[in-house]
């Protein structure tokens, strides 16, 4: 049964200034008929409503979707309210959100057949303390993305946890004004991926035991390109040594096991104050787009990438690349923390803070065979490019929803 818990008159008066004066809570219990009851509540919700999911396991047969603005879905906690998609028969994701101003918090999805939560064209969205888990651990048969906002403006992802995604745990695509923080991405192919997106802040996250920890990409032939203005700071990027289990054909299938942070074809990426340890291929890799493409609008170069001060632990000691043994031997047992392909567009190439060491393949152009490179210690200028911290991240008003 759907219970309507209307706020009392006093509360309504107090909240009269709020945009949704008739907002109500709708409680939904786990158990028999969860699919129909939950989906019906999602459809019948009105702007401002909160769907309160009780603790328990909601066994679902089909994907869910929300298309009403300003709705909150709130569970009893990411370990207490579980949407179980193990028996899912239909749809490409567990939960699809296509409306603006939505808040998703304090619940979990397990074993969605495709993606976990996809929010498409859903502006001003907050994901808070949501968990997406493929419970069988890394497997190519797991779904692709755990948390998947795309084509959206103003995205706040805070305190989420994703593991087992066969592509990216937290994937933000073709979006702008993004914050991903305080989250854990564990045992995915890519932990956190910012793709074809602008103005992203990725901070205070843990990316552990993925194939690659944090990726910043721009890809061709997409409606939205020109990714950049991204800051990655104060993240723990550790032990990313899981063998790549992505199905071939996807871009992340090319990620080398043991990659900490990878920047490919972007404009303006700052990497600083992170802790990187035990990433056996490279702590930081900066490269141009490697594949052939046909798209005049696309820029394949990594431009204005800045590696500031970071804490680099052990790493680069088992690189997954051709000639690894010779390279490791040449560098005295482990590659230095920053790997660059050497490909730059004019003078917009990689810069690093004083004391940051690395090596370069010294390639001349995008797509050049790495085997034809001339590996040598990194020799690049110190940063002159400046980042405007205020220009990255989700707007402050999204934060207010975390405390409400």
Partner 1 sequence: MRPRNVLLVLAAASLGAAALAAPLAAPRAVNDIAVSQTPLPGKLSDFGFFADPLRQFPSSGVTAYRLNTPLYSDGAEKLRFLYLPEGTSAGSDGEGLLVLPVGAALIKTFAFGEGDDRRLIETRVLLHRADGWTALPYRWNDAQTEATLAIAGGRVNLTTPEGEAISYRVPNKNQCKECHGVGGEVIPIGPKARNLSTAWLQGMVTSGHLDRVPSGSDKLPVWEHRSDAEAASVARAYLDVNCAHCHRPGATASNSGLDLRWEQDDPQALGIGKRPVAAGRGSGGLLFDVVPGKSGESILAHRMKSLEPGVAMPELGKSTVDKDGVAAVEQWIREMPSR
CB of 359 to partner 1, least distance (A): 29
Which one, 167 or 239, has the nearer CB to partner 1? 167
Q: In angstroms, rounded to a whole number, what is the distance separating the alpha carbons of residues 152 and 337? A: 34
CB atoms within 10 A of CB 268: 22
Task: Give 371's DSSP letter.
Answer: G
Whose Cβ is closer to partner 1: residue 85's or residue 359's?
85
Evaluate whether 161 touches 131 at the Cβ level (below 8 Å). yes
Name the burial class of residue 106, with classes exposed (0-12), middle (13-18) and buried (19+) by CB atoms within 10 angstroms of its CB: buried
Task: State the minimum distance, in angstroms, from the CB of residue 297 to partner 1.
Answer: 12
CB 284 within 8 A of CB 337: yes
Cβ-based nearer residue to partner 1, 104 or 339: 104
Q: Work out how close the CB of 243 gets to partner 1 at its nearest, in angstroms, rounded to a whole number.
A: 16
In whole angstroms, the minimum distance from the beta carbon of 175 to partner 1 comes to: 10
**Closest by CA position to 148, among listed 86, 63, 36, 88:** 63
Render 175-244 in DSSP notation, one character per residue: -EEEEEES-EEESSSEEEEEES-EEEEEES-EEESSSEEEEEE--SSSSS---EEEEEES-EEE---PPP
Other Cβ atoms closer than 10 A to 1: 7
Of 148 and 387, nearer to partner 1 (C-beta) is: 148
Q: Which is nearer to partner 1, 167 or 241 (CB)?
A: 167
Task: Give the nearest distance from C-beta 214 to partner 1 in angstroms.
Answer: 18
Q: Which residues bind partner 1 (CB under 8 A)?
A: 35-37, 39-40, 42-44, 61-63, 65-67, 88-92, 96, 98, 112-115, 120-121, 140-145, 148, 150-151, 166-167, 171, 173-174, 219, 221-224, 247-251, 291, 294-295
Q: Which CB, 112 or 366, lies closer to partner 1?
A: 112
CA 205 to chain centre: 10
Smallest distance, partner 1 to C-beta of residue 283, A: 27
Nearer to partner 1, 122 or 380 (CB): 122
List phi, psi (to 5°) of 92: -90, 0
Q: Are strands 358-360 and 376-377 parallel, antiparallel or unpaired?
A: antiparallel
Q: How far is the CB of 197 from partner 1 (least distance, A)?
A: 11
């Amino acid at each position: 049964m759907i219970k309507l818990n209307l706020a009392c008159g006093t509360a309504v008066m107090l909240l009269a200034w709020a945009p949704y004066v008739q907002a109500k809570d709708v409680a939904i219990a786990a158990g028999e008929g969860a699919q129909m009851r939950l989906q019906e509540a999602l459809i019948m919700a009105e702007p401002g409503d909160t769907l309160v999911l009780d603790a328990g396991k909601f066994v679902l047969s089909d994907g869910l979707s929300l298309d009403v603005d300003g709705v909150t879905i709130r569970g009893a906690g990411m370990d207490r309210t579980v949407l179980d998609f193990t028996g899912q028969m239909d749809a490409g994701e567990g939960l699809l959100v296509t409306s603006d101003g939505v808040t998703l918090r304090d619940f979990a999805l397990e074993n969605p057949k495709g993606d976990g939560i996809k929010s498409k064209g859903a502006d001003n969205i907050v994901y808070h303390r949501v968990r997406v888990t493929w419970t069988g651990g890394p497997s190519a048969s797991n779904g692709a993305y755990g948390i998947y906002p795309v084509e959206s403006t103003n995205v706040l992802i805070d305190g989420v946890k994703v593991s087992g995604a066969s592509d990216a745990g937290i994937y933000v695509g073709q979006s702008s004004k993004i914050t991903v923080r305080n989250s854990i991405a564990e045992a995915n192919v890519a932990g956190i991926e910012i793709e074809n997106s602008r103005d992203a802040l990725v901070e205070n996250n843990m990316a552990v035991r993925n194939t690659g920890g944090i990726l910043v990409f721009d890809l061709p032939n997409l409606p939205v390109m020109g990714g950049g203005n991204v800051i990655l700071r104060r993240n723990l990027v550790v032990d990313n040594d899981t063998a790549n289990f992505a199905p071939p054909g996807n871009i992340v299938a090319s990620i080398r096991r043991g990659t900490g942070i990878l920047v490919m074809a972007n404009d303006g990426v700052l990497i600083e104050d992170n802790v990187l340890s035990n990433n056996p291929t490279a702590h930081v890799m900066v490269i141009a787009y490697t594949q052939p493409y046909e798209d005049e609008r696309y820029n394949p170069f990594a431009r204005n990438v800045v590696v500031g001060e970071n804490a680099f632990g052990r790493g680069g000691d088992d690189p997954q690349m051709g000639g690894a043994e010779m390279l490791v031997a040449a560098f005295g047992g482990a590659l230095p923390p920053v790997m660059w392909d050497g490909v730059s567009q004019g003078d917009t190439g990689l810069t690093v803070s004083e004391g940051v060491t690395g090596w370069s393949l010294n390639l001349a152009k995008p797509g050049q065979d790495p085997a034809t490179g001339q590996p040598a210690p990194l020799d690049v200028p110190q940063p002159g490019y400046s980042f405007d911290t205020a220009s990255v991240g989700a707007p402050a008003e999204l934060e207010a929803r975390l405390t409400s």
